[in-house]
Structure 1
Amino acid sequence: MAARITASVYTSHVPAIGAALDLGKSQEDYWKPVFAGYDFSKQWMRDNPPDVIFLVYNDHATAFSLEMIPTFAIGTAAEYQPADEGWGPRPVPKVIGHPELASHIAQSVIQQDFDLTIVNKMDVDHGLTVPLSLMCGEQDPLKGAWPCPVIPFAVNVVQYPVPSGRRCFMLGQAIRKAVESFDEDLNVHIWGTGGMSHQLQGARAGLINREWDNAWLDQMIADPSACAQRNHIDYVREAGSEGIELVMWLIARGAMTDVAGGPPPRVAHRFYHVPASNTAVGHLILENR
């Protein structure tokens, strides 16, 4: 018996999506199309419940600041509180971790020559909680709970230098090997979050590139190795300064079995919508065959 990755999930983690949910605005005309794109996903989660979610996201200066910026940080704690990002923590349940699997992944990945920062205590911000809300539905912060333990994996895509897409893709392959060497029968989902095209500041603030986003999705699905070779400047030029968050999707894509010689994954769901706040929302579910 061993753990295995059965699916990967990819989604934007726009903070305004969390605010729309928390303020009861999800059925307003502006937000309705965004949330409709996740109706399938919530049912899919109920039909394909994971034992653990390995969730790749970026911290937005809550757990980490410019004083200390790990490139890759894995959460090994038993639980994580929703972060206060300046307007109070989101009204969602705390996140329960999986210290045993997280510690095993850390050991295995570091032995595969990836340097990880081990984090035993941190709060988690919208980068992690918004994807959970989109995929799992709204939860009562006092009585409710997320459907399974979550291993937070924070990637620095905020302060340069940031890791390359190629490095992230290789890291995903190392994570898959780590999961498969864990001696417990666990169904693991790996999620890559952030993106798609957006820029929050400067002369190009509000930039959205639908054509590039969808071409990038096509390539990530069909030819992830080639997608991983894209240079940073391509993301910045075509998808805006925050479009670099998409390298986190390549961690999840690298963990799929086709990259190790297995059959291509099944595209269970694909969704794209503009706008949500000033961001293009992308979403994808891939299942290992």
Structure 2
Amino acid sequence: MARITAGVASSHIPALGVAIDLDKTQEAYWKPALAGYEWTREWEKAEKPDVVILVYNDHASAFDMRVIPTFAIGCSEEFKPADEGWGPRPVPVVKGHPDLAWHIAQSCILDEFDMTIINEMDVDHGLTVPLSLMFGQPDEWPARVIPLAVNVVTYPPPSGNRCWALGEAIRRAVESFPEDLNVQVWGTGGMSHQLQGERAGLINKEWDNRFLDRLEGDTDELRHVPHIEYLRETGSEGIEMVMWLIMRGAMGKTTRALHRHYHVPASNTAVGHLVLEPVD
């Protein structure tokens, strides 16, 4: 039986990818932001996940205003790095796990989640930057990856409660897959940041850290936080944090934090990172 063994949450700031790609990781500005991932890279080497279900949002690379899926799951054999305007990142092609992806799609749809099935798409920094942060710069990624894209760009994004419930459905799907697989679920995006308007540059350290606190333990308080609170407290892009709740929902009732990292600023954004394990 496949099993979910851990959850990972992380910002997916594109500038972190640039710092890695251009070998700037030891520069004074980037070093403290990236230092919090050193523990996780060593931990991942020991954990050796077979599959990562990576929750992220597309930034007009695979989807645009013509097609706006709320939840889209990638079921292809592979996904190439997207050209976001300056060429694709120099990272390996992402290898998928079609059998598990199709199983999750079928299970979630029959569990009354209307998933959009994607058989061809490129993946942008929202997905590739977390892979670089957690796995470094290998010749090929050490795990198969199932992309799960969530609309947090165009109104209306899904509620925190719906995201948490999707995580619960994904857990049920994984546990009903007969192959013996070590599966991790990653939630990416955030933390507090706003990229435009009068509040551009907003960072709310207190709210961010309270959010991290509530991902650990047995509370489900975060599933009930309304959109307006994310907007008010964490800026227009802070809504990306609802994607972390898919990961949290997949962890079961109770979690234990193995590692935590928070740093500001990095490209006018708060960097948040958390590694959880399910307790029940």
Determine if the TM-score, normalized by the shorter chain, exceeds 0.5: yes
Deviation readout 1:122-160 (Å, 9 max, x if unpaired): 000000000000000013xxxx10001100000000000
Structure 1 residues 269 and 161: alpha-carbon distance in aligned structure 2, compared to 1, 3 A threshold = same
Aligned ranges for residues 257-276 of structure 1 at < 5 Å? 257=252, 259=253, 264-276=254-266
Residue 266 of structure 1: how far off its partner (Å) = 2.2
Structure 1 residues 224 and 138: alpha-carbon distance in aligned structure 2, compared to 1, 3 A threshold = farther
Residue 220 of structure 1: how far off its partner (Å) = 2.2
Please give the alpha-carbon distance, in whole angstroms, between the structure 2 residues aligned to 1:172 and 1:32.
33
Task: Name stretches of at least 5 consecutive residues in structure 2 with no aligned partner.
Answer: none
Letter in 1 for 2:92: P
Please give the alpha-carbon distance, in whole angstroms, between the structure 1 residues aligned to 2:268 and 2:174.
36
Letter in 2 for 1:156: N
- 1:192 alignment counterpart: 187
Normalising by structure 1, what TM-score? 0.95
Normalising by structure 2, what TM-score? 0.98
Residue 222 of structure 1: how far off its partner (Å) = 3.1
Correspondence for 1:251 among 220, 236, 246: 246
Contact in 2 for aligned 1:216/1:227 (Cα 8 Å): yes
Letter in 1 for 2:255: P
Structure 1 residues 224 and 79: alpha-carbon distance in aligned structure 2, compared to 1, 3 A threshold = farther
Contact in 2 for aligned 1:59/1:154 (Cα 8 Å): yes
Task: Name stretches of at least 5 consecutive residues in structure 1 with no aligned partner.
Answer: none
- 1:106 alignment counterpart: 105
Letter in 1 for 2:224: Q
Please give the alpha-carbon distance, in whole angstroms, between the structure 2 residues aligned to 1:195 and 1:234.
14
Please give the alpha-carbon distance, in whole angstroms, between the structure 2 residues aligned to 1:288 and 1:247.
19
Aligned ranges for residues 168-179 of structure 1 at < 5 Å? 168-179=163-174
- 2:276 alignment counterpart: 286
Contact in 1 for aligned 2:55/2:188 (Cα 8 Å): yes
Contact in 2 for aligned 1:224/1:253 (Cα 8 Å): no
Deviation readout 1:145-197 (Å, 9 max, x if unpaired): 00011000000000001000000000000000000000110010000000000
Letter in 1 for 2:42: Q
Aligned ranges for residues 116-265 of structure 1 at < 5 Å? 116-139=115-138, 144-257=139-252, 259=253, 264-265=254-255
Residue 213 of structure 1: how far off its partner (Å) = 0.3
Where 1:153 maps in the other structure, the secondary structure is strand
% same residue:
66
Contact in 1 for aligned 2:218/2:255 (Cα 8 Å): no
Please give the alpha-carbon distance, in whole angstroms, between the structure 1 residues aligned to 2:219 and 2:235.
21
Deviation readout 1:56-97 (Å, 9 max, x if unpaired): 000000000111110000000000000000000000000000
Please give the alpha-carbon distance, in whole angstroms, between the structure 2 residues aligned to 1:174 and 1:106.
10
Residue 241 of structure 1: how far off its partner (Å) = 0.3
Where 1:146 maps in the other structure, the secondary structure is coil
Please give the alpha-carbon distance, in whole angstroms, between the structure 1 residues aligned to 2:5 and 2:218.
19
Aligned length: 279
Where 1:118 maps in the other structure, the secondary structure is strand
Residue 237 of structure 1: how far off its partner (Å) = 0.3
Please give the alpha-carbon distance, in whole angstroms, between the structure 2 residues aligned to 1:113 and 1:150.
24
